[in-house]
Amino acid sequence: MRPGGSPTLDEVARVAGVSRATASRAINGGQRVSAHAQSSVDAAVRSLGYVPNPAARSLVTRRTDSIAVVVPEPDDRVFSDPFFARTLRGVNRVLGEVDIQLVLLLARPGASSERTLRYLTNRHVDGAIVVSHHRDDGLAEQLMRLDLPCVFGGRPWSGGDRVTYVDIDNTAGEREATQVLIDRGCQRIGTIAGPSDMTAAEDRLAGWRQAMSAAGLRDDALEHGDFTEDGGQRAAEALMAAHPDLDGLVVASDLMASGALKVLAASGRRVPDDVAVVGYDDLGVAERTTPALTTVRQPVEEMTERATRLLLEQIDGRSAGRPMRVIIPPTLIRRDSA
């Protein structure tokens, strides 16, 4: 190892007996390079242990070969939800194929979201994937103003027609879930919906409404939770107090359903005999509750995988700039709670 640190392109060129320009060409795909030059550059690279300096490269190419995953959520929620881990897995699966790295941007609302935006403005990354965004974060608009390649995981609140996104068909999923209860003969079906500032929650609620009205049932037994277990518990208590005659419960997330199951058990109601319950997500919680939850599986990894591919296309300029929309159907998973 020479004193100055790692070897530079200059040294590679010198060792290979070619110019820096030729060495550079040989290293980057080898267009217009003779077989002889190519092989001597290859040898020099190997013997020197040369690795190109990414900063220098990206200074001139204006590419960083990294993309950001932006999670505009308070830390706590993000991390307690397996949704998040799956998301990263989906992204990484695609990135494993190309030579692009993942930068994780957790934007707590407020001060640090400004910093996140600055980071993206910087062109520190070639593109961004935004997941799990709320109504009021305004991120969609701000990102579009940057004209940074960008794909949303989950339908954004606004600008949905001018932005590329991949979503799961939450409405269809919850419709199907509700139908399970209808089919098993439930007469009085309530729902615990998610926070109304998230599109996924609103879409699921709409699905419940659709199924209920199609079956000619009343859709007035409704309570909102916050997608946490405790929230589900509180919502279930309120709901059962207001409507003690419920015999079916459609819950917008498994975690909330888990809380609801506790309430039902505590009040001596048997599941599914007295009250049948369906959850949503199937991201690891549903099979561990007592009884195991019938639920709707969200193909989260598939969603983010698709989102990532769309982003890469956008970065490469292959997508002609028109906003795409991909909607993935969810799958019903039958277990014991309904």
Partner DNA sequence: GGAAGTTGTGAGAGCGCTTCCACGGAGATG
Partner DNA sequence: CATCTCCGTGGAAGCGCTCTCACAACTTCC
For residues 171 and 253, which CB has a smaller minimum distance to a copy of itself in the complex? 253
For residues 105 and 192, which CB has a smaller minimum distance to a copy of itself in the complex? 105
User: Can residue 99 be called a binding residue for a copy of itself (CB under 8 A)?
Assistant: yes
Query: Cβ distance 62 to 121 under 8 Å?
Result: no
Judged by CB under 8 A, how many residues of this single chain contact a copy of itself? 47
CA distance 201 to 322: 27
Q: At what angle do helices 20-27 and 9-16 cross, to 10 degrees?
A: 100
User: Can residue 294 be called a binding residue for a copy of itself (CB under 8 A)?
Assistant: no
Query: Cβ distance 41 to 27 under 8 Å?
Result: yes
> Which of 39, 47, 61, 158 is close enough to bind DNA by CB under 7 A?
61
Helix (H) or strand (E) holding 129: strand 127-131
Buried b (16+ CB within 10 A) or exposed e, 274-305: ebbbbbbbbbebbeebeebbbbbbbbbbbbbb
Minimal distance, residue 148 CB to a copy of itself, in Å? 11
CA distance 224 to 9: 60
Query: Cβ distance 37 to 22 under 8 Å?
Result: yes
Choose among a copy of itself, DNA, none what residue 213 binds, the Cβ cut-off being 5 to 8 Å by kind: none
Residue 287 in tokens: 């099979």
For residues 49 and 216, which CB has a smaller minimum distance to a copy of itself in the complex? 49
Judged by CB under 7 A, how many residues of this single chain contact DNA? 27
Minimal distance, residue 37 CB to a copy of itself, in Å? 23
**Of the ranges 11-19, 108-116, 133-141, 208-216, which one interacts with a copy of itself (CB under 8 A)?**
108-116
Cα 120–Cα 126–Cα 128 angle in degrees, nearest 5: 60
**Of the ranges 106-114, 184-192, 214-222, 306-314, which one interacts with a copy of itself (CB under 8 A)?**
106-114
For residues 150 and 205, which CB has a smaller minimum distance to a copy of itself in the complex? 150
Footprint on this chain of DNA (rule: CB under 7 A): 4-5, 8-10, 18-22, 24-25, 27-28, 32-34, 36-37, 50, 52-53, 56-57, 59-61
